[in-house]
Amino acid sequence: MFADTIRRMPRPQDLPLMNTQQLRDTFLVADLFVPGEFRGVFTDLDRLAVGGVVPLTPLELPNHKETGRAFFLERREFGAINIGGPGVVRADGKSFALDRLDCVYVPIGTQKVTFESADAKNPARFYWLSCPAHAAHPATLMKKKEATPVPLGTLAGANQRTIYKYIHAGGIQSCQLVMGFTELAEGSVWNTFPPHTHNRRTEIYVYFDLAEKVLVHLMGAPTETRHLFVQEQQVVLSPAWSIHSGCGTGNYRFIWGMAGENQTFGDMDGIKPADLR
């Protein structure tokens, strides 16, 4: 099931005029992971679509009128990371078994994609992103152990974390989709701080392994920031002009995904913390 409306982003100068509920209705996506359902939301952030699948029986990727095509991936590419129990993604007859925190990439032109759980009592939870594409790359599975960990931050700074890159220039090849996840060490709570923007691509986060913890996600133009309180398996949409940083009541993980003009992970416009407002 896709949401009926497209999430459309405001201009940076409009953000200060929005109240709390308007901010949440615009930038926060909740309830994407419902047992037995496929769910998705279209955005105007580089035409990214985002969703979740929790299959109790096999579920198929449906088409949607917003693609304007005969099937969903006729002109799109697709990536998914499993944050639940073991599962399988089948793409035009090819099968990919995903354990927790494994990733699969499905290229443009794939006509049929289905999602399954190995055990309905411990179902897979596939978090997915899709964006427009112009060329086909091979359908590829990457296990968590195959992703190169990149350590960042310090425990003293409460931001010690490890980045795992899956779909990127040095890993699974794609047209413009980039995906991976970050996990914070015990005792660390800050992510993506000091913050940055990158006007050449937009970004979407899903926070998970929060359990009962809550997180404050910081957003907005660097000199006009706002915040959202985020809970387990909720998604935040981040326009190119917005910072995207967070601080939780304990450690957690989050999946980041991007699409835009380039795939250069280090292409960031850093913001000095003292310049934030």
Place of tokens 């037995």: 36
Q: Is the pLDDT confidence value at 264 over 90?
A: no
* Phi then psi dihedrals of residue 21, to 5 deg: -65, -40
Q: Domain 12-261 belongs to what architecture?
A: Sandwich (2.60)
pLDDT at 268: 74
Place of tokens 């007859």: 93
* Phi then psi dihedrals of residue 172, to 5 deg: -65, 125
Tokens of 20: 């709390």
State the Cα–Cα distance between residues 133 and 8, nearest whole angstrom: 21
194 cis-preceded (ω within 30 degrees of 0): yes
State the Cα–Cα distance between residues 260 and 277, nearest whole angstrom: 27
191 neighbors 245 (Cβ within 8 angstroms): yes
What residues form DSSP beta bridges with 51? 40, 128
Convert the pLDDT of each residue in 3-27 to its tens digit.
888 999 999 999 999 999 999 999 9
What residues form DSSP beta bridges with 201? 260
Which pTM does this prediction carry? Answer: 0.96
Tokens of 249: 């009541």
What pLDDT band is residue 197 in, cutting at 50, 70 and 90? Answer: confident
Each domain of the chain, given as residue ranges in start order, spans: 12-261
What pLDDT band is residue 262 in, cutting at 50, 70 and 90? Answer: low
State the Cα–Cα distance between residues 76 and 53, nearest whole angstrom: 18
pLDDT at 267: 75
Task: Please choose, from the candidates 14, 7, 9, 27, the residue with its C-alpha nearest in 3D space to the C-alpha of residue 228.
Answer: 27
**What value does the mean pLDDT take over residues 36-53?**
97
Q: Is the pLDDT confidence value at 177 over 90?
A: yes
State the Cα–Cα distance between residues 80 and 73, nearest whole angstrom: 14
